[in-house]
A and B are shown apart, each in its own frame.
Chain A
Amino acid sequence: MRETEAVAAARRSMEICNACRYCETYCAVFPAMTLRREFSASDLGYLSNLCHSCRGCFYACQYAPPHEFGINLPQQFALVRQQTYEEYAWPAPLAKAFQKNGVIVSALTAGVVALVLILTMILQSPDNLFAAHPMVPGAFYNVIPFGMMVWPFGLVFLFSLVALFMGARNFWKDAGGKDVTNMPSWSEAISDALTLRNLGGGGHGCNDTSEKFAQARRHVHHTLFYGFALCFAATTLGFFYHHFFGWVAPYSFWRAPVLLGTLGGIGMVIGSLGLFWLKLIGDDAPTAKQLLGGEVALLFLLFAVALTGLLLLAFRATGAMGMLLAIHLGFVLAFFLLLPYSRMVHGVYRTAALLRNAIDRRTMKPLGSE
């Protein structure tokens, strides 16, 4: 990690917090802080990813602005976190995507959707594209051939997975490269991620929008997260159906892939709109406004993926199917492409930070206590 103004500001705050410790039971950041007396740039990169932006500490802080110490951890950590996304990105030249992330995500999404639409129109006759296809096996492939679907999508997805893995590896190495074979630590980290324990404020919820405590952010985030997981499960299941059982899409509504996808799609729509709503009504003070573009662009990409998927299901038996399929696949391809270069990476780094935290807690001792 480079030394930057964002890192210096976060370090100054952590040094003050470490002398105070009033927020110890809000989340994992503060117990992790007490294991240290000094904070390297890499430590701050790790701690910033451990921060879930719940804002509990901001409202409780006697040193928050306008106090001259000006502690605002949710904001300061958000800026350091963005720096980690950039520094750990792989391959390095693509890290620039994080600099104007809102523009990159929205422009690339628009470009990819347009490209898929144009290619579909070039490759298909209008008669075929706008015709109502009977919902028999292989109907979708009449519009976009099977090979055109599997290869570009598969390759982009694989590349993105490799890029995410390399990013996580960079993060891990920079953070000191601890032994990753401790299984209890893994189960703890994964359980923390799956339950968003650190967005609970220690049980009563977080300051989603103001000084009041609520569980709204936690709930809408995981509506989106589990919705996404169901959609992913639907896609994977469809792949198995096709390759191992020879059952070719489209499937009837009551078949597992469609049910999972529908449920997941609804979850993603609700979750992404919910997170956006919280941004609209929430207090701006503990946020980093310069990062809002990238956050909102990703929320709308997720929203668009889910909504177009649901629309495709609703109108798949009509003449709109061809266009809807092309648009939906355009959004999905953009999403795959942007996986390692959008705020989606937070999931990887945060889980890695939770893992490191679980390991640290087993191997390090708090400093300066009695």
Chain B
Amino acid sequence: MVDLTQTYDVVVVGGGNAALCAALTARQAGCSVLVLEHAPKAMRGGNSRHTRNLRAMHTAPADVLTDSYMEDEYWDDLLRVTGGQTDEGLARMTIRASAGAFEWMRASGVKFQPALSGTLSLSRTNAFFQGGGKALLNWEYMLAEQWGIDILYDTEVTALHMDDGFVRSASLTCHGFPETVKGKVFVASSGGFQGNMEWLKHYWGEAADNFLIRGTPYNKGRVLKNLLDQGVAAVGDPTQFHAVAIDGRAPKFDGGIVTRLDCVPFSVVVNKDGKRFYDEGEDVWPKRYAIWGRLVAQQPDQIAYSIIDSKAVSLFMPSVFPAIGAPSIGELAEKFGLDPKTVIDTVAEYNAAVRDGKFDNTKLDECRTEGLTPPKTHWARKIDSPPFYGYPLRPGITFTYLGVRVNERAQVLMDNGVPTGNLYASGEIMAGNILGKGYLAGFGMTIGTVFGRIAGAEAAKHARN
């Protein structure tokens, strides 16, 4: 039973994979552990509930992982997506520990499956959770209950009270009631702040109203802000987030994986003025996937429309909402509330610039436009076979980069670089130390698992002293 009058060895703030990894590890070491999850039970697990895999280094085939994926290749992949905005020491440690993280999950009974259809490019590097992140969380929560970890759902931590670098207690709102809990050690695994619209507006103004949040609405960043206000060192650009272009009809929160749209390379994308604004065929999907979130965010009213014809319909993964169809470009534009004439002109101008070539959707092919600004450099085919289809696009935010600075022991650092006395962090709240920009599929779960285990082990060591 949860007893808030006792002093727990370890209090874990958050309820996603990074939090559970810390809690389970600390419990295995014999600590009394309390997990504080903001969401109600049905929606527990933060953004982990939408994930599907873990990127793991391996020197030989292991379970569902094929071939090998060595440290240097992993590091190169990370360097490429972050453009150097990473900490090589922490990153390489995480990469090396990812092999053990995968083995630990497997040994704990987590079920894995081979790469899903449509994701074969990840079959070597990423281990997929069978059933996805929610199934993983179900398993972790089941272990937590079996092992006697106390869990409070619908409980938001509003403040960690710091005193001379030590967290003395935490203030909570538990099922709507204010409470306080004491712990010897605290682990902050409460994610980023992408669910906090006010905070996003602080940087993005009214445009933030048009952003969709792909993950949990419970990542409000209250603990993050509270810590930064108390002199904890920040890491990552506060104005930046990882965003992709998703279906504009998606729910405001929690739309997850199904809202992604893979049609952009086979389409022309126009903004609300009916004009093209970027090279749709720049690179293979999903490498250019993330760019489009930013691009759409910069367009008026943060919306765009991807238009294809019947030739392209079956070239990409189906998505959550059916395409909007019409027998002519003009009628399609009307359905989107765009000026038909401008869109007809845009498409006609594009069609006139298309140069014939051999179309191949599996690689950067030779179909391109000539004399068009902006150009479409690959997969450019005339959009001329009715019926025509389109999807509205909006920026869909996955996570924010701002976090707390940590060291390789997962200790949270103060502004002056000194480690806090009893505060550790894992998951999205500290991922910005390693992933300062861009994204690498399955790497968020790797950081969460690796640092969750480190935080849990270090917290246990500390609490048992």
Contacts and interface: CB of A to CB of B under 8 A. Distances in A.
Interface stretch (A76-84, A121-129, A329-337, A362-370): A362-370
Contacts of A370: 118-121, 362
A268 to B, nearest CB: 33
B251 interface: yes
Given A26-B130, A367-B314, A59 B135 contact: yes
Contact of B118 (A31, A202, A369): A369
B31 to A, nearest CB: 25
B318 A25 contact: no
Interface stretch (B77-85, B162-170, B174-182, B252-260): B252-260
B319 interface: yes
A34 B320 contact: no
Interface of A: 15-16, 18-26, 31, 34, 37, 56-57, 59-69, 202, 204, 211-212, 366-370
Interface in B35-52: 42-43, 49-50, 52
Interface in B84-126: 111, 113-114, 116-121
Contacts, number: 99
Contacts of B138: 59-60, 211
B131 interface: yes
Contacts of A26: 130-131
B372 interface: no
B258 A368 contact: no
Given A68-B251, A370-B121, A370-B362, A202 B113 contact: yes
B438 interface: no
Given A15-B320, A62-B50, A211-B142, A21 B135 contact: no
Contact of B113 (A18, A24, A37): A24
Nearest to B135: A60
A68 to B, nearest CB: 6
Contact of A56 (B114, B131, B314): B131
Given A20-B258, A22-B135, 15 more contacts: A19-B318, A22-B52, A22-B116, A22-B257, A24-B116, A25-B114, A26-B130, A31-B117, A59-B135, A60-B135, A62-B256, A64-B42, A65-B42, A370-B120, A370-B121
A67 B254 CA distance: 8
Given A20-B257, A68-B251, A61 B111 contact: no
A125 to B, nearest CB: 64
A37 B142 contact: no
Given A59-B135, A366-B117, A370-B121, A19 B362 contact: no
Interface in B223-256: 251, 254, 256
B330 interface: no
Contacts of A31: 117
Interface string B308-323: 0000011111111010
B322 A15 contact: yes
A25 B113 CA distance: 7
A25 B130 contact: yes
B325 to A, nearest CB: 12
B218 to A, nearest CB: 13
B114 A19 contact: no
Interface string B119-153: 11100000001111111001001100000000000
A66 B141 CA distance: 19
Contacts of B142: 211-212
Contacts of A66: 42-43
Nearest to A202: B130
A370 B138 CA distance: 30
A126 B381 CA distance: 90
A290 B269 CA distance: 47
Given A18-B318, A211-B142, A24 B135 contact: no
Given A204-B111, A366-B117, A19 B131 contact: no
A63 B50 CA distance: 9
A33 B43 CA distance: 26
Interface centre among A20, A62, A66, A367 (most CB of B within 10 A): A62
Nearest to A25: B113
Nearest to A57: B131
A26 B128 CA distance: 13
23 contacts: A15-B320, A16-B258, A16-B320, A19-B258, A19-B319, A22-B116, A22-B135, A22-B257, A24-B113, A24-B117, A25-B114, A59-B138, A60-B134, A62-B49, A62-B132, A63-B258, A64-B42, A67-B254, A211-B142, A212-B142, A368-B318, A370-B121, A370-B362
A60 B257 contact: no
A86 B318 CA distance: 32
A163 B120 CA distance: 46
A34 B258 contact: no
Interface centre among B42, B50, B254, B256 (most CB of A within 10 A): B256
Given A62-B134, A63-B256, A21 B116 contact: yes
B116 to A, nearest CB: 5
A299 B397 CA distance: 50
A61 to B, nearest CB: 7
